[in-house]
Amino acid sequence: MKSVQPEVFLVARPEIDYDQLAAYLSEVGGEKWLEKLDRGDLDSDALNLAEFAGRLCYRSWEPGLNPNVVRVRTDQDKYLQNILASAHGSVLEHVSFSFVLHNVSRVFSHEVVRHRPGVAISQESLRFVRLADIPFWFPDWALADAELMKRSTALLEQMEEFQRWMAGHFGLDEEGVPFHEKKHKTSFMRRFAPDGVATGLLWTANIRTLRHTIEARTDPGAEEEIRLVFGKIAELMRAEAPALFSDYEITDGAWIPKWRKV
């Protein structure tokens, strides 16, 4: 039995093509906004993309381009806070991040897949990937319980032994076994792994979804592993896009936003 920890790797973030952005802005007379780049004001592609999406809606690159707009917010933090405050959440859907959620259990994955809009998921297939051992996360309170650990480790070792026995019994490593047969039996064998078996997935979500799922899944009523993982995601996002994640108040691991349901 391999004892593991759930981990989060932020593997992809938005990247703007500023030449194309400039070409578009020169079409609509919005070059001034881009000039802010020279002052180093705009240094996050994620935040820039959200601001760009919002300004495109009102042609608010600068006052007067739209005769209805006589003044514009110039500070990006304030601009994005107004997006949150006014629940103009659709502009945040353009900004997506991809996370490898490593050593998370099937308990976790059953729950995370319930969040539907704004996400993409690719999960390790236990039809294809045979379980040679059963990686497993124990929270600290469980690790501190000697009798619980003795019994659960013995149970997991017995399950691992059964996996190995089945692989031998089905002859999966013998010469010439067709892949479809391996897949068929591997899929059967996974039924004898616990829900807590650690596995992994690539999870992509846009900022609107991230804000909602961070709130829901760090709530004290949420399951402890998903709370742990979404706490890590929240920390990463606050560093990546502070203007869109600094309204949260953190109380006992619960991330409570000032602006809900954008």
Ligand X SMILES: Cc1cc2nc3c(=O)[nH]c(=O)nc-3n(C[C@H](O)[C@H](O)[C@H](O)COP(=O)(O)OP(=O)(O)OC[C@H]3O[C@@H](n4cnc5c(N)ncnc54)[C@H](O)[C@@H]3O)c2cc1C
Confirm or reject binding of residue 39 to ligand X (CB under 6 A).
no
d(CA 44, CA 239): 11
Closer CB to ligand X, 74 or 251, in the complex: 251
Task: Pick the piece of the chain touching ligand X (CB under 6 A) from 32-40, 45-53, 111-119, 239-247.
Answer: 111-119
170: buried, middle or exposed (CB in 10 Å: 19+, 13-18, 0-12)? middle
Task: Pick the piece of the chain touching ligand X (CB under 6 A) from 51-59, 108-116, 132-140, 237-245.
Answer: 108-116
| Helical ranges in the chain per DSSP H | 18-28, 31-35, 45-58, 76-85, 106-112, 140-143, 146-169, 179-189, 207-218, 224-240, 242-245
Mask: binding to ligand X, 121-160, rule CB under 6 A, as x and -? ----------------------------------------
Confirm or reject binding of residue 222 to ligand X (CB under 6 A).
yes
Confirm or reject binding of residue 227 to ligand X (CB under 6 A).
no
- The least distance separating ligand X from the CB of residue 112, rounded to whole angstroms, comes to 9
d(CA 163, CA 251): 42
Task: Pick the piece of the chain touching ligand X (CB under 6 A) from 38-46, 62-70, 188-196, 219-227.
Answer: 219-227
- The least distance separating ligand X from the CB of residue 44, rounded to whole angstroms, comes to 25
Which are the catalytic amino acids? 217
Sort strands 249-251 and 198-206 into parallel, antiparallel or unpaired: unpaired
CB 75 within 8 A of CB 253: no
Confirm or reject binding of residue 114 to ligand X (CB under 6 A).
yes
- The least distance separating ligand X from the CB of residue 137, rounded to whole angstroms, comes to 19
CB 181 within 8 A of CB 128: no
d(CA 24, CA 62): 15
Closer CB to ligand X, 2 or 260, in the complex: 260
Helix, strand, or coil here: 218? helix
- The least distance separating ligand X from the CB of residue 261, rounded to whole angstroms, comes to 7
Residues that bind ligand X (CB under 6 A): 114-117, 212, 216, 219, 221-222
